[in-house]
Structure 1
Amino acid sequence: MESAVREDRLQTISKSSYLINGLSLPVFAVIAAVVLVAGRIGALPGGMVGAFALMLVVGAILNEIGIRLPIVKDYLGGGPIVIIFGSAAMVMFGLFTEDQTALIKSFMVDFEFLNFYIAALITGSILGMNRKLLIRAAARYLPAIIGGVVVSFVGVGLVGALIGYGFKEAILYIGVPIMGGGMGAGAVPLAKIFGAQLAKDPAEMLSIMIPAVALGNALSIVIAGLLDKLGKMKPSLTGNEKLMVVKEQETFQEEKRSPVDYKIMGSGLLMSLGFYVLGSILGKLFPQIHSYAWMIISVAAVKAIGIIPEKFEEGAFQWFGFVMTSMTTVLLIGIGVAYTNLSEVLLALTPQYLLLVGVTVVGAAVGSGLVGRLVGFYPIESSITAGLCMANMGGTGDVAVLSASKRMELMPFSQISSRIGGAFILILASTLLKLFS
């Protein structure tokens, strides 16, 4: 009886109140004030407690700004972009004290929160996919993704060579991060891969990649809207939300989700860490491929074979969902403070750079559309899902692209692009670095 009353009370609060991070505005304001004042007077605890408190509060505030700013919320990635660049600006202009900046950097670098987040993301997102979808995608959908990647990389490389930016530089620093599956699972691990293999600071690499990811996301949304208009002008090019040209549309249902079980979620935590350690072992034994890539290969292989009981796959998915929902703003603050040099980012935004971003995104759409048609897809739907959903910012970008093109029914395929396609780019990046070095 008491639990039912409490549940009713929570539902009433959620319906009647403006919520930030799940809290009503007055409650959040009090907590935020306590944390920010503690930071200013030097009373903020050290280690994980202080870092989490500060990053959650600042991340929530910047996210609220980002999801409401005109243009930014519709075309530039909204909250995530404002969190990253806003926190980087706070460092540049001294709004974070030196102690606060050092605390956040230590949490990200020394305590490796980034790796903890990525482990949950990769394991849960892949194990949470429909197994049938994962297996059958390789036969028809992945060639469309590869078509977009090849055309975008060749195009940006050639244009980069023609305008003096450099063939390999254009591919590695612009093409790869745009096509890499967003920020947390794309640009950030790519920066670490690049830093390890090129003996450079990952922060320097990320400062080059972040503008490409943000601009690529914005352009993907714009092109998605234009493709929708093209479909109305040329009906033969579109299936009107159906990807397959065949009469009997193949459909793939999302895995059935179970109620949240905290014990099962705990097993998901252990599995994510176990797969991360396995990737580290394989990376040490076979250093030609980065440990992130080995982790992805391991998780995908286990999912395809089907050797993990469904309840533990569900645990990994629930843990991934908790981490993604509760800790993404923490990660983005960390990226902004520890890995983003705003001065270098601003220097990167040249007309030359903008041209290369445009070539990459358009190449992804064109390549995926052409190859998609060859394997039995409608060109517009293939361009949107296998092309633009590779070039956007992962999950939030998928929603924005599919909303702009009015094709939300294609979400399962866009998730393949963001999850499996992004993983493919991480693996490809390791190979390209070896090839170009």
Structure 2
Amino acid sequence: MITSEAISTNDQREVKIVLLIAAFVILLATFFNQLPGGMIGALGAMVIVGFILNYLGDRTPIINQFFGGGAIVVIFGSSYLFHSGFLSGDIEKQITTFTKSGGFLSFYVASLVTGSILGMSTDTLKKAALKYIPVILGAVAISFLFAGIIGLFFGKNLFESLMLIALPIMGGGMGAGAVPLVEIMSGRTGMDAASLMSQMVPALAIGNAIAIVIAGLLNKVGQMKPSWTGNGELIRGEAEAIQDKSTSNDSLDVKKLGMGALIAISMFFLGTLLSTVISMHTYALMILSIALIKVSGLMPERLEKAAHAWYTFVVSNLTPALLVGIGVAYTDLNQIIDALSPMYFALVFATVLGAAIGAGIIGRVMGFYPIESAITGGLCMANMGGTGDVAVLAASKRMQLMPFAQISSRIGGAFMLILATFAIQLLA
């Protein structure tokens, strides 16, 4: 997607005309199911649908002020457009394939994680690494407390409230969370895997939606309470320091962007290779590798700037397109609506809200801005893994926090699996 920030004022009218013509042609081809196959068809539709929905969401009153604006409209709007049959046919399959097995999501996350970590100061990275784990623990503790209290109010026992709802929500998404949780629990509770999964999946979907909405609200809270937020910087005081060392005047050329893309892809490959010998998620290993390279000073500064430039390009141009992929491939509105009983919603909402409050409070104690720590340590624990991280950070307008979001989803998710093994002995 082309953003107005990336072009001069004199050229904006021309660009808008081009976008309108492109939108008309691509939407017409989509409606008549005549888009070409592969990446070109999927990405073309995703860019245009994402641009239109993002534009509308950012200009819709109330939604743009309190609920994340364009990000939330793109996710749920694209889910409705494609799943309702309004834009149907092969394009839905193409978008799903391109986002999942086609690697678009992995490409996006690798670009953000690599560029944002290498773009940090080394001191900031060291300070955050030592203090971040307690934030995750605070999120888990308060989320479980809130879920347990609400569950008892509705007559649920702790096993149903914590193990079937709170734990899956905080567990790192579907593949890295719910699936291994089902394997752990089905062998020790006497419940079959299908029954467990049918109870966990709606909790994940609703929890993800609530996390996105709360992220948008936290962005508004940050605007109302400026002392609570670093506007994308996690450690208190770092926002001013980074402004003083701004590198916004650095030239961005094609070679620099290409080098940044290659570095991001290489870091993803490194995480993939390490995952064959170390039993950890690729993203977690990638984060640890990049952080080690950063603090050791192995990467020349000009290459760090190239990776950060590529991160900026990807966030500015591909975020709405990816949110369309998340809406189509990962967001099932029917599943969310079917599970929306008052009791179920209250339990899920209490879990997500507790995660945000716990992370915000502990983050404040550890020297972080409470808004940023609530988003990364809380909401990014309570969403659906990598896709949820992108959606939450887009709704809160804090994409530069992706490394910490991924720590929550991957390392925090792994911690939840360990916790589940012990907790099941007490509650089952």
Does residue 383 (structure 1) correspond to residue 370 (structure 2)? The answer is yes
Instruction: Tell me, yes or no, if the aligned pair for 1:119 and 1:276 is still in contact at 8 Å.
Output: yes
Match of 1:97 in 2: 88
For residues 6-405 of structure 1, the aligned pairs below 5 Å read 10-14=8-12, 17=13, 23-24=15-16, 26-139=17-130, 141-142=131-132, 145-146=135-136, 148-159=138-149, 162=152, 163=154, 164=156, 165-176=160-171, 190-194=173-177, 197=180, 208-219=203-214, 222=217, 252-253=241-242, 256-257=246-247, 258-287=250-279, 289-364=280-355, 366-368=357-359, 370-371=361-362, 375=366, 382-388=369-375, 390-391=377-378, 394-399=392-397
What CA distance in whole angstroms lies between the structure 2 residues aligned with 1:241 and 1:260? 29
Q: Which one-letter code corresponds to 2:208 in the other structure?
A: V
- Alpha-carbon RMSD: 3.7
Return closer, same or farther for 1:293/1:196 CA change in 2, 3 Å cut-off.
Answer: farther
Task: Give 1:150 shift.
Answer: 3.5
Instruction: Tell me, yes or no, if the aligned pair for 1:365 and 1:383 is still in contact at 8 Å.
Output: no
Task: Give 1:367 shift.
Answer: 3.4
Task: Extract unaligned runs of 5+ from structure 2.
Answer: 1-6, 184-192, 380-390, 422-428
What CA distance in whole angstroms lies between the structure 2 residues aligned with 1:42 and 1:146? 45
What CA distance in whole angstroms lies between the structure 2 residues aligned with 1:224 and 1:144? 23
Match of 2:412 in 1: 428
Task: Give 1:300 shift.
Answer: 1.8
What CA distance in whole angstroms lies between the structure 2 residues aligned with 1:108 and 1:222? 27
What CA distance in whole angstroms lies between the structure 2 residues aligned with 1:144 and 1:325? 32
Return closer, same or farther for 1:309/1:28 CA change in 2, 3 Å cut-off.
Answer: same
Instruction: Tell me, yes or no, if the aligned pair for 2:260 and 2:307 is still in contact at 8 Å.
Output: yes
The share of aligned pairs that are identical, in percent, is: 30
Aligned residue for 1:87, secondary structure, equals helix
What CA distance in whole angstroms lies between the structure 2 residues aligned with 1:302 and 1:44? 43
What CA distance in whole angstroms lies between the structure 2 residues aligned with 1:194 and 1:130? 32
Query: So what's the TM-score if we normalise by structure 2?
Result: 0.75
Task: Give 1:297 shift.
Answer: 1.5
Equivalenced residue count is: 379
Please give the per-residue CA displacement for 1:224-247, whole angstroms capped at 9, x wherever unaligned: 877998x8xxxxxx978799xxxx
What CA distance in whole angstroms lies between the structure 2 residues aligned with 1:87 and 1:274? 32
Task: Give 1:94 shift.
Answer: 0.9
Task: Give 1:167 shift.
Answer: 0.9
Return closer, same or farther for 1:256/1:196 CA change in 2, 3 Å cut-off.
Answer: farther
Q: Which one-letter code corresponds to 1:436 in the other structure?
A: A
Return closer, same or farther for 1:61/1:344 CA change in 2, 3 Å cut-off.
Answer: same
Task: Give 1:429 shift.
Answer: 0.4
What CA distance in whole angstroms lies between the structure 2 residues aligned with 1:249 and 1:110? 41
Instruction: Tell me, yes or no, if the aligned pair for 2:228 and 2:369 is still in contact at 8 Å.
Output: no
Task: Give 1:427 shift.
Answer: 0.9
Match of 1:406 in 2: none
Return closer, same or farther for 1:264/1:84 CA change in 2, 3 Å cut-off.
Answer: same
Please give the per-residue CA displacement for 1:246-275, whole angstroms capped at 9, x wherever unaligned: xx9675325642221221221221121111
